[in-house]
Structure 1
Amino acid sequence: MNDLTNPLGFGGSGGRKFRVPVGAIAAVITASLFAGLAVWLMVVSDPLGGEPYARARIETSDTGYARVDIATVGVKSGTGELLPPPSDSKPEAGVPVEGPTGAEVAVALPVEADTALIETSPFGPLPRVAADGRRPLDVYARPVPGFVGASPKIAIVVGDLGLSQTGTQEALAKLPPEVTLGFAPYGASLDRWTAKARQDGHELLLQVPLEPFDYPDNDPGENTLLVGKDARQNVENLHRVMGRLTTYVGIVNYMGARFTSEAAALDPVMQEIALRGLLYLDDGSSPRSVAEQSAGKFKTAFARADLVIDAIPTPNEITGRLAQLEQIARTRGLAVGVASARPATLKALAGWTSGLDGRGITLVPITAVPQQN
């Protein structure tokens, strides 16, 4: 007998042949795959699984960051216990300035607005040149002692004050009076904050929102001056912002890369700033800015920042920018830096400014910077 004579599926006298259970094996494999998938879904939380993604390198620090150094700023404030306490008595209109021998010399610094420098408007008190020719730029400036001489000088402007109560309080507590403070027009209790800043001896600038290139995706805020608006509308919005504060020496742009690149839009605003006896500070963030040329047309007092100190807001980067600012001051005689009231920035500036005298550099307010007149 051979295989041809055996019935199908039988091995004849040689014994019974084994049949592979293909169906059972396939069922086991399928069940295993489903079980593995179920476990993966329970263990792995990835709602974006399968979506495109990007990787970014995160720098580490040997010293680490404190929680306060990464706090969020720029949030509109309400009322709260962090406001400067009200007082029934008026703050003294003077600050101490050290003389050449280390003795303190009293320097008058007005805390309240001079009524001769105020124009009443529907938008609030607007700055103006007094009938006798006095300008807010001069009256509200912090005097620089004559003994400063030819030593290298640095002016620092810290902005975004008035938005975060914590950030504003930290700036007033940590920064020396020679640092100029830039206030945003959107905060609460601005009169009290600015009065405290003046009492402490600081010059003030008003931050005016100007149109950036990616507006309105990136919106500087209410009453932003826009390239598409006519001159009358932009000057009116400038007045709306100006009426929020008093006792400031000038204007500094908030954003505004597009607006400051368009002379047709900027010129009427720059002319208005000059007519009201104010300084214009270009924060130096846009290489396309024509602010200096525009200021020249109207003889507007003008200054331009050399560096944004905290463009990269990490302690190492801020320290590096401050060292770079010192080098500019030693080379040119004077340098201007701008920054925001971030916790890490304030901490770095407090330590850095305390050692400037020992390094032969003088800290000066923004009005000490040479300007066009």
Structure 2
Amino acid sequence: MATAAAVAPLTPPSAPEPPPLPVVAPRAQATVDRPIPPPDPTLQEPSPHGPVPRAGAEGRTPARAYARPFDRSDTRPRIGLVIGNLGLNAALSDEAIRRLPPATALAFSPYAARPEVLLERARARGMEVLSAIPMEPAGYPSTADAGDRALLTGLTPGENADRLLWTLSRISGQVGAIGALGPMRGERFAALPESIGAVQTGLYNRGLLYFDPRPGAPSPPRAFGRAVDLVVDEPATRGEIERRLAELERIARDRGSALGLAADPAPVLVDRIAAWAAGLEERGLVLAPVTALARRGDDLPRPAP
């Protein structure tokens, strides 16, 4: 394997803000699908691997530019969902984009061969997109392998920074990233504070969110984002998915919000989420885009008063 060239650390932009959406739709129009804008060249910069996201002028960020509108004055408990492994199976991915609620976020695998058509369809439905970052998982290398571009504990910071750039170059128009690749959630890599901290800082500097896929993990301290509360498809059976979706509702009622993660867009998962979401508002909750659930990291600088 060729050794990647070291990447110089980025200079942080001036105090990026979290990605609240500037346009608030009235409650009566909240369910209307609005397309996500296409990738903006002013929010990209070249890299050795192709264009990658960057923060723009006057506080513009990809996390804001490609966010789904949401009424932040809505006081109902919020539930967010991230579905992973998009792009690897075109037929399953297309069905998920067609049937899942538009507020669902889609995490695209960097190993997807040709994701452009799927990304266009997701944007047309108003669905937010994340980059799935492959990181060294538990069991590596004997029982789990996140691929030949995974961020690894045995690589130098420069090599991992270059692999992060490669991952971000694989799709466009993302609001952020999540450290999960299918059922692998990068446990070994994320256990090293400086390694995962460098990833969060790199994303923050580019105006991107970071979602930690490990249930119960603390919120990312060096990025805007949060950790997921539970995984809804372990195992991916109808009964267990329904039970865990009900548990998401309980968490949201108790804490005000909840974030769930699914490893794959399996037909049974898509079917159960579509049926569950159809009655969510009648039960007094709202499905929210992940940008509406992001929080400021504790280690980030605060804007001057």
Q: Does residue 306 of structure 1 match 2:239? A: no
Q: Does residue 158 of structure 1 match 2:83? A: yes
Partner amino acid, structure 2, of 1:336: L
Partner amino acid, structure 2, of 1:165: A
The aligned runs of 1:47-196 (5 Å cut-off) are 99-101=26-28, 107=34, 109-110=36-37, 112-146=38-72, 149-196=74-121
Q: In the alignment, which residue of structure 1 is the partner of 2:164?
A: 238
> By how many angstroms is 1:370 displaced?
3.9
Q: In the alignment, which residue of structure 1 is the partner of 2:259?
A: 336
> By how many angstroms is 1:107 displaced?
4.5
Following the alignment from structure 2 to structure 1, what is the Cα–Cα distance between the partners of residues 27 and 55? 34
- Bigger Rg, which one: 1
Q: Aligned pairs, how many?
A: 268
Q: In the alignment, which residue of structure 1 is the partner of 2:174?
A: 248
Q: Does residue 268 of structure 1 match 2:195? A: no
Partner amino acid, structure 2, of 1:368: A
Normalising by the residue count of structure 2, what TM-score does the alignment of the two structures yield?
0.83
SS in 1 for 2:58: coil
Change (3 A) 1:103 1:372: closer
Q: Which digits, 9 at most, give the CA deviation of each residue in 1:49-81, with x for residues without a partner?
A: xxxxxxxxxxxxxxxxxxxxxxxxxxxxxxxxx
> By how many angstroms is 1:325 displaced?
0.6
SS in 2 for 1:258: helix
Match of 1:213 among 138, 149, 169: 138
Normalising by the residue count of structure 1, what TM-score does the alignment of the two structures yield?
0.68
The aligned runs of 1:343-354 (5 Å cut-off) are 343-354=267-278
Name the % identity: 37
* CA RMSD after TM alignment: 1.9
SS in 2 for 1:137: helix
Following the alignment from structure 2 to structure 1, what is the Cα–Cα distance between the partners of residues 294 and 86? 25
User: Mind listing any 5+ residue stretches in structure 2 that lack a counterpart?
Assistant: 1-23, 298-305
SS in 1 for 2:85: strand
SS in 1 for 2:133: strand
Change (3 A) 1:238 1:170: same
Partner amino acid, structure 2, of 1:320: R
**Which 4+ stretches in 1 moved above 4 angstroms?**
102-108
Paired residues of 2:30 and 2:70 also in contact (CA < 8 A)? no
> By how many angstroms is 1:344 displaced?
1.0
Change (3 A) 1:103 1:264: closer
